[in-house]
Structure 1
């Protein structure tokens, strides 16, 4: 843009360069003169109001003290307004620029003849250029041409000249829309264990969206995998020993319902893992886990309701003790009364109770 305006300085009125330069130089003087006249009028008005207030005060009956005090206050206020107007006029006169002398007018005309040199001079700062344009220009009209990807500028100079300029706009490359790296990394981890449908559900539960703000679907996950070169999930033909299994596969191996595993995972009675919050649970089948899901309850294991009665605590407390390893628990998967069993010792009879029974 600077180059365009700089090249336009050669178009400043060649027919009347003196008029354009002088009009620009005298624009500030005209504005200051108009401001000074305005303050003079305000001072005259303030003095007139002060004289009126003085006459009202002098004509009032001195015995009417209430009215006299009000008129006196109005007179003092009018005098303060006169003082403020005088000070403002004095400041305006002090700030008023002096008229150009003959030498200054001649120098200004010389600058108008070679404005390009002034504009391009190393000593001319950007602020100087702005001030120069502000002094020389009367009006600027800018029109955006979207088809031509350019702007058309019409400049109206002091002195009457009108200049037109067309400036090509830089073609900016549209910002690339990309999914955030954290989501891509999560898809890479999930794809090792789950198909696209499961991955889409996990991402939506975490309230993640695509780069354009859309929810994830099977197709969108697949497209994203393909773009980033992430292989799709291929389930193994046979479960690998020691590898985590899905809830459904683990339930089939242990001979229980998937809901049982979900419930015991939530209660913290068995261990499981999640790739990320909201992802399906995965369970490693161990000897201890197999022993936990027994066919029948061994000696000393009682239903959780009986354990609560014997221990005198709530269900939550019993489960907390199992999680801490203070109580042993198994899940019975056979018989009519399937469910959790807790190992609780029989309460020891109180010695004094035995003596009371014997005496009776």
Structure 2
């Protein structure tokens, strides 16, 4: 690109140098030819100026040539990528560029619907590295060790541990819930309630007058199934589940009878 710009500039400079000689050699009485040559001269000057600007721009974009010392430094760093990667002067953007140059292919194998995945990186030169990746999941049931988690929570509860104590115990042991970094007491209570292990109904539904112990609020029933509350409300409106309106003060609350759930309700609908 730089060479082409230089050649165009040289041709334009030649035409600019030739134009005045042509103009000066014409007979002054031949005004038509003189005006034409004068116009050609002005056009040659404009063309030379345009190519000069293009050449300057091409030169400014051309990277500077490295000195022999700089070439030796680059060669040494290329032979020791870890040192280059960990150098204090290497920025995050520099590391991204290094990774793009060195990484040829990435293969990710997800273990079912769980949070665990195996990451295989194929690097330049034939080096292959394997890593374990923990990906975000939406539900507790997707956790690979969900059964062990529930068993451990149940055991801790049987020892009269509070929900907060169970959460602290799990966090200290390195357990991680979906979508959040740590466990908390409300999360533990919801888990126990969904598994039928809660000893008390949630505060927000404890004052509802129930015809039987089987009746559940929409919130309790959705937590029991692991379905969204809007999904459960949709089933209620379409008659797929039976329910009745109760009141706490002036607040109407739906109560659902699980034993009267329509057989048309499926797990697929709840997901």
Pick the TM interval, shorter chain.
0.3 to 0.5
Which is greater in Rg?
Answer: 1
Q: Which has the higher contact order (CA 8 A, sep 6+)?
A: 1
Q: Report the TM-score, using the length of structure 2 for normalisation.
A: 0.38
